[in-house]
Amino acid sequence: MVVASPNPSGAVKPEAIELPVIDLSAERTEVAKLITKACEDYGFFKVINHGVSGETIAAMEEEGLGFFTKPDVEKQRAGPATPFGYGRKNIGFNGDIGEVEYLLLHTNPLSVSQSSITISDDPQKFRSVVDSYVRAVRRLACDILDLMAEGLWVQDPSLFSKMIRDVESDSVFRLNHYPPSPFHHCTSNAVGFGEHTDPQILTILRSNDVGGLQICVADAVWVPVPPDPTAFCVNVGDVLQAMTNGRFMSVRHRALTNINKPRMSMAYFGAPPLHARVTAPPELVTPHSPLLYRPFTWGEYKKATYSLQLGDSRLQLFRQ
């Protein structure tokens, strides 16, 4: 099992953190400012009035739960995850283990269609639901990335979003399912998915109404993020930290299991094409803020990610 970093000895049990909740229907300039501040202060925030319909969300949740409630022998037809498909316990290829089972899909419609055959008894329906959900959350991710660029006064407002709009985008969609764990109690947390940062640009995350998500704040204290059925969680990825020259922080997070209830999360990871060059724009590089990371391609960074363990710091390999 992944062993998560404990809270400091003698520390009081942390209270749930109130992440910024940003109403995307508010005045655009103000929204851009709020998102920028949230990315600088937390690296995580929530969005409401996000434009993803309740029907689209419900349909995807139904398909996901329908798959995870199948007998093991049927689920295993969709695996092993190499990296796409059904996986259980093992996270990646370097020994990380968690109390999780998952489906990992590339967001390319052809790839989804091919994967659907072993995942669902109705592949056409599954493919349609996934494609609709991915289109909706990708549109949301692009809107947020454009607001970030505006908040940073980047000359090209599509600088970040065009990387995931690209037809060769390497974005992925992941469904995580955490069965109830009898080991989850006040003195021993069962780690469903160990501490890590997301390597991509941006993550759009939603879970059912069961807690488990935690983020790491100052002094290595882990604080819970309560679920919110009206919102999506958004977090900065490593690539965005590099492209903002460290202005935005890719924050470590993890997921714990629950003693009574299963938890399912749905995460869209927006990523560039493999050949895309990642570097900060000139507007964010000054004599007082020199370039922190040497330019790299997403393919290079992804290779580094696969070579390391889940909790390892990858961006340090690309420091100037």
Question: Which residue among 247, 263, 294, 319 is the active-site one?
Answer: 263
Residues 6 or more apart whose CB falls under 8 angstroms from that of 277 comprise: 295, 296, 297
Q: Which two tokens stand for residue 287?
A: 């004599």
Query: Can you list the alpha helix ranges (DSSP code H) found in 224-308?
Result: 238-243, 298-307
Please calculate the CA angle 228-232-237 and round it to the nearest 5 degrees. Answer: 130
Residues 6 or more apart whose CB falls under 8 angstroms from that of 309 comprise: 92, 94, 95, 96
**How far apart are alpha carbons 91 and 104 in whole angstroms?**
11
Q: Is 247 a catalytic residue?
A: no
Task: Label residue 308 exposed, middle or buried (CB < 10 Å: 0-12, 13-18, 19+).
Answer: middle
What are the backbone angles phi and psi of residue 8, rounded to the nearest 5°?
-55, 145
What are the backbone angles phi and psi of residue 268, rounded to the nearest 5°?
-100, 120
Beta bridge partner(s), residue 193: 255
Please calculate the CA angle 145-103-197 and round it to the nearest 5 degrees. Answer: 45
Beta bridge partner(s), residue 298: none
DSSP class of 311? T
Task: Label residue 6 exposed, middle or buried (CB < 10 Å: 0-12, 13-18, 19+).
Answer: exposed
Around Cβ 108, how many Cβ atoms within 10 Å? 16
Catalytic residue numbers, as ranges: 263
